Structure 1
Amino acid sequence: MLDIILLLVLLFFTSFLSAAESALSSLKQIHLKSDSKEKEKTRESELLKFWLENPNELLTTLLFIKTISYSSMIFTGIYLIKKIYKENLYIGISFFTLIILVLLFSEMIPRLIARNNIYGVSKTLIIPLNTLRIVLRPLIRLFIYISRLIVGIFKIKVKDQMFEITEDEILTFLKAGTESGVFEEGEEEMITSIFEFSETTVKEILTPRRDVFALEAESKIDDVWNEILDQGFTRIPIYTETIDKIVGTVHMKDLLRYDKQTGENPPIKDFMKEAYFVPITKPLVELLEEFKLKQLHMAIVIDEYGGTQGIVTIEDLLEEIVGEIRDEFDQEEENIQQIREKIFDIKGDTPIEEINDKLEIEIPLSEEYDTISGYIQDKLGKVADVFDQVKGDNFVLKVTDVDNKRVERVRAVIIEQEKEE
């Protein structure tokens, strides 16, 4: 009878350990912050914080006690079975039954309960588990020291912070939440954009120099006034000789101070302010912080030789997070327009990834180019002319418009591949 009671106690104890291991292994800082009672700083919450910051001792305690408990339970079970049954057949059946009971009540059921209430189970079991840790501390620390010594021989770096939530985990939770209806698709896109924002550089979002509207410093206001109004930009780069020598910027509100009635026609440089320059490799996170601190809205992007690569504005940065922001001067023109079935008209500066996604084709990506124009020039190995063609596995790209050696428009024809039988 005593043997049966001991076996049941060990079964219950291993269930407790499995539940604790499962819950604590899944516990994150977010579980603590989501609990409204966390502000009270209870004993349980303090211990859970300790667990997240220093998991090694508690985890080793769990593994140590669990190993001893399982070993004791198996030995007790075998002893009890042999004591009751003498025939090998009954011993085998009883031992198999014991294994099933251990799997169900010591592993599967406790872990299932713990996974469905991670914080509640962790909070309930942390105090008794911590008590065991304190009692066994000398032995546990010895095991930790030995394990680190062995791991050190193989030069494996050990992290103490075992349960930090990672970016990939957040994005996985976010995707699952969107699929289950917890988040709207737009919310998922915005949060994903925030993570991508931290890894993006100015090079990926700048307005290239060929598309930059800039004015020569000696230009007279009357001579360029209509052009300024037509372009509709509030900030304009100013250069001397060539656009590689940008010397400042002009704000539209400063130009409005100009009074034609005076009869003067000053050069635009008289209204110029100092330009802000950034390298093409600057991360967007750093640039946004600089814009905020310096109260700037535009920067001139330069390469390693000091040449102008383009411009970047605070609007460009915000669009990386919230999507495209249109104002009254922006033209509603899609990058890709369908002409008829499997035939598309594409703007030359359309990103390759956008084309691949929308047309479901696989134009190769490369660091040498970002747009369909760059891809065509790269494949041709020369400056593209109208009617030039580039063929892929299931598409043909035909240049339909070129302006100043730049591909403006491309006709894409999608070719259906024959299915292999």
Structure 2
Amino acid sequence: MNDTLLNIVLILIFVLIGGVFAAAEMALVSLRESQLKSLSHRGKRGETVARVAANPNRFLSAVQIGVTLMGFLSAAFGGATLADSLKPHLQNLGLPASVAGTVALVLITICISYVSIVIGELAAKRLALQRAETFALGLAPLVDKLASGARPVIWLLSKSTDLVVRALGGDPNANREVMSDEELRDLVSAHESLGEEERKIVDDVFEAGSRQLREVMLPRTEVDFVDGEMPAYKAVKFAAERPHSRYPVMNGSADDIVGFVHVRDLFDPAVASRSVRVGDLAREVLMLPDTAKLLPTLTEMRRRSTHIAIVLDEYGGTAGIVTLEDLVEELIGDIKDEYDEEAAETTRFISGDIEVDGLLNLDDFADATTIELPDGPYETVGGFLAARLGKVPSIGDEVSFDSHTLTVKEMDGRRVARVRLHRVRPAEGEQPPAETPAPAAD
């Protein structure tokens, strides 16, 4: 009986050692690149973890050797020792001696396999998955030593694996796939420690990463330009009537920008006491193409410590301006101060109609109405209407699309100022109205 207990203890030891290798494998495989980079700066053990994880072929071969060897020892040792102890009991139950030995071996193997799967695989890997860094720091040195000691065997296994992977169309030198933006978004959404606001900010950052300046700029028709030949004292009156702190300075035309002027320069007593043109006070301004991405632009403006940039179209003309505040608002939402003009609000009617600003860009329109306008050579609701109508819109013009109608309600010169969205509810049996086709080009 004592020998049987000792044999059971030895089998459990083999199973536990196999579980150690299984846990090491799961811990090292589940570590993210950011975790590995952080661990590499946490002493020798952290450096070992980073070094071992950098060569997955090596450490996977090492842990597989350990798991396979321990599994073989537990099954072989158990079958050779415990089966003989179980055989007499089976004979007492009426089994013939010729059958009892085989049945005993099968039962012992099944029991050892069950214990190995539960303790040596599932439990070990689940614990390692929950505390990957802790297990990796503790077990990486063991895996590293085993890999060094079994180098010839690992070399043979690695080369054999490379051949099989290559034969199956894989790349033996490839590492794990890079996490996609969507996967990263899902990971953030599922993170329990992040609140609703934090998740929204992260989501806005992802959306901002693909947005261009043409989508967030203030168009030139809405920009207050100052002529460089204007006397400073007149510019003071001009600025006093407006809420901005910086104004683009032009040389006769909005397409010829020479810089920008800050209101502090205009109100400087030294300037007011002498005859100075605005052009003499102009500071250098950053020029950017309208295809520039939002996040790199934000980084560049912060690096240059500038708060305003001129956005150029593909022909080199001025498309509009963008400010540092505009870019930050794209990430964290509107920043209101006491000098901000009230933006045109989205108005909702009892009938279900929605009225919006014609300058609303497509993304903001979708946020306000839950309706996405089709993409095209335009960035705003007003641009969509002009493209579909094939002319400068007028009050009362309508465009139908996807069971909805957009109606021009107000114009500001040649710009669409207000647009009303109406959902068309077709009568029973009727088809919804088709989209208004754009007129054919001559």
Q: TM-score range by the shorter chain?
A: 0.7 to 0.9
Which residue matches 1:53? 54
Q: 1:268 aligns with which of 278, 281, 284?
A: 278
Give the Cα separation in 1 of the matches to 2:8 and 2:347: 77
Q: Deviations over 1:126-171 (max 9, x none)?
A: 2332221121122213322343355456774455765988766654
The answer on whether the counterparts of 1:206 and 1:311 sit within 8 Å (CA) in structure 2 is yes
**What is the 5 A alignment of 1:134-283?**
134-152=148-166, 156-157=170-171, 162=176, 171-177=185-191, 180=192, 182-221=193-232, 225-257=236-268, 267-283=277-293
Which residue matches 2:23? 19
* CA-CA distance at 1:296 after TM superposition: 2.2
Alignment CA distance shift 1:96-1:404 (3 Å): farther
The answer on whether the counterparts of 1:238 and 1:247 sit within 8 Å (CA) in structure 2 is yes
Q: Secondary structure at the match of 2:254?
A: strand
Give the Cα separation in 2 of the matches to 1:53 and 1:221: 64
* CA-CA distance at 1:115 after TM superposition: 2.2
- Structure index of larger Rg: 2
The answer on whether the counterparts of 1:278 and 1:300 sit within 8 Å (CA) in structure 2 is yes
Aligned: 1:411 with 2:420: yes
Give the Cα separation in 1 of the matches to 2:150 and 2:249: 73
For residue 320 of structure 1, what is the amino acid of its counterpart? E
- Aligned residue pairs total 412
The answer on whether the counterparts of 1:301 and 1:311 sit within 8 Å (CA) in structure 2 is yes
Give the Cα separation in 1 of the matches to 2:428 and 2:160: 60
The answer on whether the counterparts of 1:28 and 1:163 sit within 8 Å (CA) in structure 2 is no
Give the Cα separation in 2 of the matches to 1:417 and 1:15: 66
For residue 47 of structure 1, what is the amino acid of its counterpart? T
Give the Cα separation in 1 of the matches to 2:125 and 2:426: 50
For residue 18 of structure 2, what is the amino acid of its counterpart? T
Alignment CA distance shift 1:29-1:82 (3 Å): same
Give the Cα separation in 1 of the matches to 2:400 and 2:104: 74
Which residue matches 1:375? 384
The answer on whether the counterparts of 1:52 and 1:163 sit within 8 Å (CA) in structure 2 is no
Alignment CA distance shift 1:351-1:48 (3 Å): same
Give the Cα separation in 2 of the matches to 1:184 and 1:109: 32
* CA-CA distance at 1:233 after TM superposition: 1.6
The answer on whether the counterparts of 2:403 and 2:424 sit within 8 Å (CA) in structure 1 is yes
Give the Cα separation in 2 of the matches to 1:226 and 1:339: 40
Q: Secondary structure at the match of 1:231?
A: coil
The answer on whether the counterparts of 1:384 and 1:399 sit within 8 Å (CA) in structure 2 is yes
**What is the 5 A alignment of 1:21-40?**
21-28=25-32
Q: Please list every run of 5 or more consecutive structure 2 residues that lacks an aligned counterpart in the other structure.
A: 91-98, 430-442
Q: Deviations over 1:18-41 (max 9, x none)?
A: 222222222346657889xx9772
For residue 273 of structure 1, what is the amino acid of its counterpart? R
Which residue matches 1:41? 43
For residue 128 of structure 1, what is the amino acid of its counterpart? L
Which residue matches 2:331? 321
Give the Cα separation in 2 of the matches to 1:158 and 1:324: 49
Aligned: 1:400 with 2:414: no
CA RMSD in angstroms, aligned pairs only: 3.8
Alignment CA distance shift 1:72-1:259 (3 Å): closer
**What is the 5 A alignment of 1:328-339?**
328-333=338-343, 335-339=345-349
Give the Cα separation in 1 of the matches to 2:52 and 2:177: 9
* Structure 1, 95-104 or 16-25: larger mean CA deviation: 95-104
Q: Please list every run of 5 or more consecutive structure 1 residues that lacks an aligned counterpart in the other structure.
A: none
Alignment CA distance shift 1:323-1:124 (3 Å): same
Alignment CA distance shift 1:345-1:200 (3 Å): closer
Which residue matches 1:119? 133
Alignment CA distance shift 1:63-1:204 (3 Å): farther
Give the Cα separation in 1 of the matches to 2:81 and 2:425: 71
The answer on whether the counterparts of 1:56 and 1:160 sit within 8 Å (CA) in structure 2 is no
For residue 346 of structure 1, what is the amino acid of its counterpart? V
Q: Percent identity?
A: 25
The answer on whether the counterparts of 1:216 and 1:239 sit within 8 Å (CA) in structure 2 is yes
Q: Deviations over 1:183-239 (max 9, x none)?
A: 332233334444555554433322222222112333345555544322222211122
For residue 315 of structure 1, what is the amino acid of its counterpart? E
Q: Deviations over 1:17-73 (max 9, x none)?
A: 2222222222346657889xx97725x333223233333311221123334444555
Which residue matches 2:358? 348
Q: TM (normalized to structure 2)?
A: 0.78
The answer on whether the counterparts of 2:19 and 2:67 sit within 8 Å (CA) in structure 1 is no
Q: Deviations over 1:346-366 (max 9, x none)?
A: 1111222333334333x2341
Q: Secondary structure at the match of 1:233?
A: coil
* CA-CA distance at 1:400 after TM superposition: 0.6
* Structure 1, 352-361 or 168-177: larger mean CA deviation: 168-177
Q: TM (normalized to structure 1)?
A: 0.81
